[in-house]
């Protein structure tokens, strides 16, 4: 789901070695490039690879872009409907996870789950453990869920869930 149907990822991504992921690969780098930046610009690429480019958090609008990205949509479809649904031509041979669990829409828990899995996928870690001390995936998941269930954030959460 990283490239259009029928295309191949060049150079190929290793399934067992993550050192060529993130900004170190043309395809994953383009997906992760911050809004407003041009991934095709070599200076931008070098800045992102080196970690010198930081996301500009807007304290006036902290929900701007939060949990609304193409990579999250692709990840959600891949996990909950079927990998082929990312290509817009579903051809699954069995019921989707969403169907099996009675999901009619994206839930707060499923959104936190996908964000956690995408975060892990793009990390250098090769094994997913809920107790890891580097990524602290369990805390990440619960932090997102706590935010989405915070009554003080209900208006923004309704907007987010409608977007999904």
Q: Which of 26-30, 128-132, 142-146 bottoms out in mean pLDDT, i.e. has the lowest?
A: 128-132
**What's the pLDDT score for residue 59?**
78
Handedness of CA 92, 98, 102, 105 (dihedral sign): negative
Give the model's pLDDT for residue 23.
73
12-23 pLDDT, tens digit each: 777 666 666 677
pLDDT in tens, 34-70: 666 788 888 888 887 787 776 666 778 888 888 988 7
What is the structure's pLDDT at 146? 95
For residue 63, with 0-12 CB atoms within 10 Å meaning exposed, 13-18 middle and 19 or more buried, which class applies? Answer: middle
């Amino acid at each position: 789901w990283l490239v259009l149907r029928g295309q191949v990822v060049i150079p190929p991504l290793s399934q067992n070695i993550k050192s060529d992921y993130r900004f170190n690969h043309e395809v994953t780098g383009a997906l992760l490039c911050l809004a407003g930046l041009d991934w095709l610009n070599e200076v931008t690429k070098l800045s992102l690879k080196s970690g010198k480019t930081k996301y500009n958090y807007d304290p006036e609008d902290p929900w701007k872009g939060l949990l609304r990205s193409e990579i999250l949509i692709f990840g959600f479809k891949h996990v909950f409907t079927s990998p082929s649904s990312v290509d817009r031509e579903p051809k699954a041979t069995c019921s989707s996870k969403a169907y099996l669990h009675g999901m009619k829409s994206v839930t707060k828990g499923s959104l936190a789950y996908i964000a956690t899995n995408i975060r892990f996928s793009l990390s250098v870690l090769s094994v997913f453990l809920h107790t890891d001390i580097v990524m602290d995936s369990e805390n990440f998941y619960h932090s997102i869920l706590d935010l989405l269930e915070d009554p003080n954030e209900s208006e923004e959460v309704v907007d987010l869930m409608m977007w999904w």
